[in-house]
Amino acid sequence: MTQNGYETIQKYLKTLDQSPGVYRMLDAQSQVLYVGKARNLRARVSNYSRPGHSGRIERMISETATMMFLTTKTETEALLLEQNLIKQLKPRYNVLLRDDKSFPNILVTTEHDFPQIKKHRGAKKEKGAYYGPFASAGAVNHSLAQLQRIFMLRNCTDNIFESRTRPCLQYQIKRCTAPCVGKITKQDYATSVKDAQRFLSGRSSEIQEKMAQDMMAASEAMEFERAASLRDRIRAMTQVQTTQGINPRTVPEADIIGLHMEHGQACVQVFFIRGNQNWGNRDFYPRVSADMSYGEVMEAFIGQFYDTKDPAKQLILSHDIENSDLMVQLLSDKVARKVDIVVPQRGEKLELVSGALRNAKESLARKMSESATQGRLLKGIAEAFDLMGPPERIEVYDNSHIQGAHAVGAMIVAGSEGFLKNQYRKFNIRGDELTPGDDFGMMKEVLTRRFKRLLKEDPDRSQGDWPDLLLIDGGAGQVSAVAEIMAEFGVEDIPMVGVAKGVDRDHGKEEFYVKGRPVFALQRNDPVLYFIQRMRDEAHRFAIGTHRAKRSKAIGATPLDDVPGVGSTRKRALLAHFGSAKAVSRAALTDLKAVEGVSDALAEKIYDFFHEKG
C-alpha cells in the first residue's frame, strides 16, 4: 500500500531529535521539492505531519515521498546551509532568487606610480581600493565620467600608459592630466587620487572647500591657467551635487530593500547607499507563491542575495523578517563586522524605504503588463506553428564566423518573461574536419553538443531546461539537417521552425519552414512576426558579439600565453625587453635571465618550452 505524504513525514519523527538543522522534502523521482531550516528539527517536521496548511503546503506534503536531514551545531549554520541548498537545488516550493549577477565596482589601483581608475566586476583579486557596489554598469560609467571631469585621473591600461609618447584625446578635452608624458608630478597626481577617494567616500564638501582655497591661491600667484582649471572642476562638482539631490543626509552606508507582492508575484527593489551617495537601484523578481508571507520572502531574498555579496553596514527593510537575530549574526560573521537590520517607523530611513517600496510597486506593475503581452505573443506562436500550447522555452540558434575563422555557435532563450539572458550559451566550434563556412556542419556540432548534455543532465526532462520550440536561422535544408540530428538522439517530439528572409532578404517577408508543411509566411504587420524577428536578431547579436570577442582574443594572443608560469606582468616585461614573442622564443637562456622579474627557474622554463617545441 502506497503511503501518503502525512504518513511519510510521521515515519521520520521517531528518528529525529531536537537538534537544529536542515530538512529536504523529495518526490517519488527524488527531485527536491522544498528545503527548510529548523531550530528544532523534530518540532518543525512535526508541524508537517498534521493537516491544516495552505494549499501550496498541502500540495507539497502530498508529493513528498522521502525526506533528508542534516543536523548543524547552531541555527545560524542551518540558515546558511538552507540558503546554499536552495540556490544549488532550486526546489519548486521555495522562494528562489532567479537573477544573481555580480555588481560592478569602481577600482582605484595601487600597484602603479600613477594609479588608474576603472570599472571592475567579479572577484576582487587586483590590488587597490574598491568602491561599490553600483547598481549597474551605467551607474558606474556615469560616476567615472564625473570623477574624470573633477579629478582628471587616467583610465587607460598600464600597457597603453607605458607606450604613450604624447598626450591622448582625454588630455585635450580636460579629462586627464596626462601623467604618461609627465604633464603632472607624481605628488600632485597622488593628491588628486586621494581627493577622488575622499569624494567616493562621501566627503565632497571638504574637497570643494580645498579646491576653492587652491583656486584663490593660484589666482593670487597669477597662475591663471591653474586657477581656471580648478574653477572648472569646482563647477563640475557643484553640478554633480545638484543632480544628487536625492542623496540621504543621515544614512552614510546602507542597502535599502523594498518588497511588494501582488497576484502571486513579487518585486524587490534594492538601493545602494555608500558615502551618503545613492549609487543606483536594481529590481529583482524572485519566484514566490501567493500564500507566502512578506517576512518569508524577504528573509529568503536576503539570505540568497548576500550569499555572494558583502552587505552594507545597515540593511533598511520595508518588512521585518522572522529570524532577524540569526540573519544579523550570519551577515556579521560573513564580513567580520557588525551588520544592522532595521525596519524604520519614522524619519529619513522611512522616506528611503518608502521610495524603494514605490519603485517596487511600479516595477511589478510594468512587469505584469509585459508578462501579459508576452503571454499573448507565445499564444500567437503556438497558433502560427500548430503547437500543442504556448511554448514556455524557445531556443534560437545562430552561427558566426569570417570565412570559417573563429567560428562560434550561439543559443538564446526566450519564454514567458522575455529573453532569459542567464540561459544563453555560446559554443566554440571545434570540428577540425569542417569545411570553412560550413553552416550545416556547425549547426550539427552545436545541436549535438546541446542535446548530448541535456540527455545526460536531465534525461527525464524534469528541470525545465528542455525547449518546447527550436527556431533555426535557415530554410528547408537547415530544418532537415536538424531533424536528422534530433532523430539520432531519439528526440523527435520537439517542434522546430526554420526562419529564412525570403527572396528579397527583407524584414517582413520572412518565410517559415516546418517539416511536413508547405513553406508559409505571416502577415507583415502581425505582432508574432515582429516577435520572431526580435528573437532572431537577438540570436544574431549574441553570436556576432561572441565571435568578435573570440577574434579579439585571438588577435591579442601570443605563444607566451601557453608558457606555464608566465602571467600578464611577466609577459609585458618579456615583450618590453625583446620587442616580440618571436624574439623571446629565439632568445638565449642568459638573455632571458637578464629580464627584470624573470627568475632563473622561470627563464629555464621559457627556454625549454620553445626549444623542446622547436
pLDDT at 243 over 70: no
Residues in the chain: 614
| pLDDT at residue number 441 | 76
Alpha-carbon distance of 385 to 388, in angstroms, equals 9
Question: In this predicted model, what pLDDT tens digit does every residue of 469-508 receive, in sequence order?
Answer: 999 888 888 888 888 888 888 888 899 999 987 655 555 5
Residue 24: what pLDDT? Answer: 95
pLDDT at 396 over 90: yes
Give bridge partners of residue 341 from the DSSP assignment.
315
**Which amino acid, residue 7?**
E
CA atoms of 132 and 312, how far apart (whole Å): 10
Cβ atoms of 475 and 511 closer than 8 Å: yes
| Cα distances (angstroms) measured from residue 412 to each of 329, 405, 431, 472, 551 | 41, 22, 22, 11, 20
Quickly list DSSP for 523-545: -TT-HHHHHHHHHHHHHHHHHHH
DSSP 65: -
CB 67 within 8 A of CB 8: yes
* Lowest pLDDT segment from 1-5, 221-225, 588-592: 1-5
**Which run of H or of E encompasses 280?**
strand 277-284
The DSSP string of 307-340 is: TSS---SEEEESS--TTHHHHHHHHHHHHTS--E
Q: What domains can you pick out in the chain, each with its CATH number? A: 5-89 (3.40.1440.10), 105-243 (no CATH), 253-365 (3.30.420.340), 393-554 (3.30.420.340), 559-613 (1.10.150.20)
| 529-542 per-residue burial string, b: 16 or more CB within 10 A, e: under 16 | bebbeebbebbbeb
Is the model's pLDDT at 269 over the cut of 60? yes
Q: Are 5 and 38 in contact (CB under 8 A)?
A: no
Residues 6+ away with beta carbon under 8 Å from 221: none
pLDDT tens track for 422-475: 889 988 877 656 555 567 777 888 888 899 888 888 888 877 789 999 998 888
Beta bridge partners of 499: 473, 512
Handedness of CA 233, 237, 242, 244 (dihedral sign): positive
Residue ranges of E strands in 508-610: 511-513
- Cell numbers standing for residue 414: 526566450
Higher pLDDT, 516 or 395: 395
Q: 308-349 pLDDT, tens per residue?
A: 888 999 999 999 998 899 999 999 999 999 999 999 999 999
The CA-to-CA distance between both ends of the chain, in Å, stands at: 73
Q: Strands across the sheet with 117-120, in order? A: 117-120, 105-109, 128-131
What percent of the chain stands above pLDDT 70? 90
Task: For residue 40, name the pLDDT band (cuts at 50, 70, 90).
Answer: very high
Residue 52 scores a pLDDT above 50:
yes
Per residue in 158-213, pLDDT tens?
888 888 888 888 898 888 999 999 999 999 899 889 888 888 876 666 676 777 77
- Does the pLDDT at position 237 exceed 70? no
Q: For the chain, how long is the longest CA-to-CA vector?
A: 99
